[in-house]
Amino acid sequence: MPAHQTYGGSWKFLTFIDLVIQAVFFGVCVLTDLSSLLTKGSESQEQERQLKKLISLRDWMMAVLAFPVGVFVVTMFWALYLYDRDLVYPRLLDNFIPQWLNHGMHTTVLPFILIEMRTTHHQYPSRLCGLLAVCSFAVGYVLWMCWVHHVTGVWVYPLLEHIGPVAKVVFFSSLTALINIYYILGEILNSYIWDSSKCVPDSDKPKTD
């Protein structure tokens, strides 16, 4: 695609960054599962430590990157697409990207990440550390977009061409707040699904007189 051959290449698009995040995250998930199977029954403390590191990495990626960024990309893309697709996905792209691939990039991310959350318990970091990490990612991407515009004179997304400087600040601030809300939503959803009280069998619950 022409836009992918300009400054920054594919890395200036949040959709592409999100696909890389999802690929790395699910790769870590597979590696964690394989390591867990291979070390099952092993008494090696070193293998246990390595497995715990993998699990910690998997959980951190899920909490800070995979869930909030994935949900953000899906919801924002389709909200803007339904409002005015030319603001985020000009019709010219239909010549390069078929509909099934568009859904692969902007739709299937959500059900897969929800399936992962439903099938695997993830230990979230403290709320403050998690929000700081998410904010760092969001601010970093905004600065990256501004740098691309500084170098090329063109905004990554057509929407940004139609709003003024003050509106851009409000827009970027609102999106940063939104991705933080998605982080908290993921934390709440994870806690709801894996509520420890729901995981305790009735026979193990303390009896009361």
Domain ranges in the chain? 6-198
- Six-digit token pair at 13? 């698009």
So what's the pLDDT on residue 96?
80
Helix 67-84 to helix 99-106 angle, to the nearest 10 degrees?
Answer: 140
So what's the pLDDT on residue 9?
86
Sequential pLDDT tens for the chain (209 residues): 555 667 888 899 999 999 999 999 999 999 999 988 887 767 777 778 888 999 999 999 999 999 999 999 999 988 888 888 777 777 877 788 788 887 888 889 999 999 999 999 999 999 999 999 999 999 999 999 999 999 988 888 888 888 889 999 999 999 999 999 999 999 999 999 988 545 544 444 444 44
